[in-house]
Structure 1
Amino acid sequence: MPLSEEELRLLEQMERALSEEDPKFASTLRGTTQRLAARRRAILAGVAFAAGVAVMMGGAVSGYWPVGVAGFVVMLGSATVLLSALRGQRAGGAEPHVAAHPSGFGVIDGGRGRRTRGGRSSSGFMDTLQARWRRRKDRGGF
């Protein structure tokens, strides 16, 4: 069912107000600006990595080791930028999900681990152990 003209007008006003009030948040919701920037960084880092490989191989073939070391440093730096750009590209549109937890703690699930109210991080291993403990407790084992 399409929106009426009044609803479309109200929606456009809300979008404009959001963009004016917090442009960074509005950009994050759209996701285009950050994804494009991350993609550009990833492409440039890939090109720099290939250049670093060429410089390192040139230094190895010529026997002039400082050139090889410089090529390796370029490779290392560009690989770091490439990985951070790829992570930023994946996480650019995903906001952490806040969910209620049976223990009463607010759980923020950002995809990797979980942060509880105390700021502690637990891995999947700890989640598995906690689930086992809850099952035992529910069965009346303790």
Structure 2
Amino acid sequence: MPLSEYEQRVLEQMEQQLSSDDPKLVNTFQGRGTTSLRRWILCGTGALAGLVVLLIGAVLALPWLGVLGFIGMFVSVVLAFSTPRKGPAGVVGDDGSIRPRSKSRQREPGFMDRMEQRWDNRRDGDQR
């Protein structure tokens, strides 16, 4: 059953409101779900090959071959269900614009970095 004209308009308004309110969320949702068919086929083939190697190892009474087959199956299944590491092409700003990711990414200081800085400041006599 198709949507009425009014429902389509309301849906478009909601979509525009969401994209203006939270562009990072929209970018996150648009970047997911891109698992390719080729990835599934390769992982399925790897899992099947691992199963065959496992069975051959069991039939020939070679435990090391069975273990290798199991490891191959396990790795294939983990790769099939893990998300690709490829991140977004750019960074979404607060205004919704997408700018390219900088090559030299400066990370924010972590907990240990802050603790070391505080320790150094404390030893130098700078009490905070």
Band of TM-score, shorter chain: 0.3 to 0.5
TM-score (norm 1): 0.34
Greater Rg over alpha carbons, structure: 2
TM-score (norm 2): 0.38
Which structure shows the higher helix fraction?
Answer: 1
